[in-house]
Chains A and B, each alone.
Chain A
Amino acid sequence: MSMTTTSEAHTAHAEEHHELGFIRTYIFSTDHKMIARQFLFTALLFLLLGGALAVLIRWQLGFPGQPLPGGGILPETMAPGGIILPEFYNSLVTMHATFMVFFALMPLMAGVFGNLLIPLQIGADDMAFPRLNMASFWITPVAGFMMLASFFVEGGAAGAGWTSYAPLSASGEWTGVYLGQQLWLASLIVLGFSSITGAINYVCTVINMRAPGMTWFRIPLATWSLFITAWLLLLAIPILTGGLILLLFDQTIGTAFFRPEGSGEPLLWQHIFWFFGHPEVYILILPAMGFVSEVIACRSRKPIFGYHSMVVALVSIAFLGWVVWGHHMFQSGMNPLLGMTFVVTTVVIAVPSAIKTFNWMGTLWRGDIHYDTPLLHAVSFVALFIIGGLSGIFMASAPVDIYIHDTYFIVAHLHYVLVGGSLFGIFAGITFWYPKMFGRMMNEGLGKVHWALSFIFYNLAFFPMHNLGVQGMMRRIYDPNQYEYLQSLQPTNTFISINVFLFAAVQAIFAFNFLWSLKKGKVAGNNPWKSNTLLWTTPSPPPHGNFPEMPIVYRGPYEYSSPEVEEDYYPQDRPPPLSSSGGHTVEVPNPEPVPGD
């Protein structure tokens, strides 16, 4: 095992950078670790923006018709006198979701962690196609700029929801938004290429560049989940791209793919969108599940419970995710018989998620659990994903969905899986892998405070949304008080808004911790968490090329508390002891590639 110290690696690293120059090191880098950082900073900025938009939404719902403090800076077309206009509200709900899904979560999941983890966890020196990887990143800010620009054109930003249902979205005559909607479509068409090229890289790297001994069932679950997510991206995004192009044609050149006045079919848009859209939500959660597996196993000092089942569950979710899309369309006017088939497929997909949840709990059982910030976030993922998953059962039943479709019950469900699940999973990932990325630890005290307050305010904000839905409050509704039966819900809405503001404010602690620790955090050694994966055998941060020579893998990634060694961890690349270890066979990789290996 390499004994390079951090300072030696830093010097070597710095020398390499000096040769390459600033632009090639920081701007147009082909090193997967730098690209991961670029995605991280870009995505966190968009996360901030998406959060700001959410605060505006909640201002209107919590304090309807009241001037937003400091809202005077918003233009007259959005919020005259700081009072949010209905058309701006529609743009807010649209753009909040758009930025969060496409420009924050996807880049964080796939762009950051796919890039950081895959080569390091499988023992590769970089991605299969480093220059394509660089291009893959740079497409994202270009698309992001287009999306941002849409706020400032005449008519404002898209306002047809992130789902962009036609005919509302097919012609500006229905929303008053023309260029903004077109920019929305164009931006996402462009962004799709970032996902597709990234996915090609991840798939090829995992298939072809694993170190000797890294068989499929010795790959860490984080890489497994990212590999499967890459397949979903590869196959789902082009479907969306096709649909977006057709919708853009309807908007710009007068076709009528989705416009009934030309015999177009509004439901066709929904089928295309959700055929993409359902695999998309698994794209948003599967990597987080991978991170949670890594963190829980490592910080409980225990093998992941049911590793093979976990892989099978990931693959099952990925396959089943293609045949459930109609559950978004139960009330759409789609054939009711078709609806019933989607009920069956939808309830079945609950099963692999349940399996994973039980396996995480099995990992904690009889473990030696260290209450580090990453572990707290990872366990929060499990707790909150349980709620999100269970709430999904209600809407899986098509008749119950009649009542709760398009209400705040759905908003509660999606935020429990995307924030309670994905975002907390991302926090687990960032706090866990920050030392490897930046060479320093994040501050534990601040991390725990951020975690605790986030967890509390998050639940106070989003749990009551279930109740709003049960009482019949619709989604995307600028002023629920127009409806007499919803007026009694105003105090609940205000309560929710206040907790959303507090949740948002608490993220400043994370931002501060993140930035402060870059320079002032405790210097991390190679393996502060005493994890088994190849990633932690490198210096923090690793030099270009990652490993001085290709590692050899002798065992799976979750050999924690193994009786074969004194310490409670057993890295994948540590050779087995010279003496035979009393009856227990140790696998050593065959130097000749074996067919089927």
Chain B
Amino acid sequence: MSNAAVATMERKPMPGMKVYNKKLGMWVFLLSEVMFFTSLIGSYIILRFAHPEHWTNPGVVLNVPLTATNTFLLICSSVTMVKAFAAIQQGDVTGLKRWLLATIVIGAGFVGIQMVEYVALSGEGFLPALDAYHAVGRGNPHEGPSLGGPLYGATFYAMTGFHGAHVSIGVLCLIFVYIQAVRGKYTLADHEGVEIIGLYWHFVDLVWIILFTIVYLI
């Protein structure tokens, strides 16, 4: 090709991943989050194999039915998030706002229910600290033999707590995106913010499914 032609051609960056910067950035960020949860979950696995006597069968101390419902809710919120994104892909701002709001409400509900569970569990003596730990099982009065050991409480609160913190931050971000939607910032052509919060939200949901399985079902 001649130099004259080269000199007049449009200068665009190399295609790279063919994904816009913010989206690539979110994916890359989520990889770092995978490593963070790996370190927590990996520690749990190692501690549990080393000291299985610290754990009980999940339903003995933890409220599996309630949390299963909570899990279902979180999955629903991923569905509403998908619907929100689908709406703005069609240019439907009203739909976007409605489904974003649904996602926010369900997400906040998830955190709320988890906090209720935390209060109940700590009331029954299921605590992270070594000296304070005295889990007596669901629905039991405060007396009774201790079930499991402090590693159970410590790993439980560490894993679910950090997940809950991520959900909470997600809810705050969703509120920000909602406000932007109300202000008319998202259009059919330009709605990057919605897509990337969606990615984050699905990730948080996926981590929960893994956590729920290993903490509440195994």
Contact = CB atoms under 8 A, between A and B. Distances in A.
B25 A204 contact: yes
A207 interface: yes
A591 B32 contact: no
B6 interface: yes
A34 interface: no
- Give the one of B132, B150, B162 with max A CB within 10 A: B150
A255 B46 contact: no
Nearest to A202: B28
B157 to A, nearest CB: 8
Interface string B1-45: 111001101111111110111101100110111011111101100
Counting contact residues on chain A (CB < 8 A from B), the size range is 35 or more
Interface in B104-160: 128-132, 149-151, 154-155, 158
Given A235-B35, A262-B150, A272-B39, A204 B14 contact: no
Given A124-B13, A261-B130, A242 B43 contact: yes
Contacts of A243: 39, 43
A204 B32 contact: no
A273 B80 CA distance: 40
Contacts of B151: 256-257, 262-264
Given A238-B33, A268-B46, A208 B24 contact: yes
Contacts of A75: none
A245 B157 CA distance: 12
A264 B48 CA distance: 10
A552 B32 contact: no
B25 to A, nearest CB: 5
Contacts of B13: 124, 208-212, 550
Nearest to B12: A212
Nearest to B33: A238
A249 interface: yes
A235 B32 CA distance: 5
A129 interface: yes
Chain B: interface secondary structure?
helix
B35 A238 contact: yes
B47 A254 contact: no
A271 B50 CA distance: 14
B14 A237 contact: no
A295 interface: no
B37 to A, nearest CB: 8
A215 interface: yes
Given A238-B36, A246-B43, A249-B154, A254 B132 contact: yes
Contact of A588 (B1, B46, B154): B1
A238 B39 contact: yes
B136 to A, nearest CB: 18
B163 interface: no
A510 B25 CA distance: 38
A253 B128 contact: yes
Given A204-B24, A265-B50, A239 B131 contact: no
A203 B6 CA distance: 28
Contact of A200 (B20, B29, B42): B29
Nearest to A263: B51
B166 interface: no
Contact of A249 (B32, B37, B50, B128): B128
A129 B26 CA distance: 12
A255 B39 contact: no
A84 to B, nearest CB: 35
A196 B28 CA distance: 10
Contact of A208 (B16, B39, B43): B16
B60 to A, nearest CB: 19
Nearest to B8: A591
Interface string A572-597: 00011010000000001001010001
Nearest to B129: A254
Interface of A: 124, 128-129, 196, 199-201, 203-204, 207-215, 234-243, 245-246, 249, 253-257, 259, 261-265, 268, 271-272, 549-552, 575-576, 578, 588, 591, 593, 597
Given A200-B28, A211-B11, 14 more contacts: A196-B29, A208-B21, A209-B21, A210-B14, A211-B13, A211-B14, A239-B39, A240-B39, A241-B36, A256-B154, A262-B149, A263-B51, A549-B11, A550-B13
Interface of B: 1-3, 6-7, 9-17, 19-22, 24-25, 28-29, 31-33, 35-40, 42-43, 46-47, 50-51, 54, 128-132, 149-151, 154-155, 158, 162
26 contacts: A128-B21, A128-B25, A196-B29, A200-B25, A203-B28, A207-B24, A208-B21, A209-B13, A209-B16, A210-B16, A211-B14, A237-B32, A238-B35, A239-B35, A242-B38, A243-B39, A245-B158, A255-B158, A256-B154, A262-B150, A264-B151, A268-B47, A272-B39, A272-B42, A578-B3, A593-B12
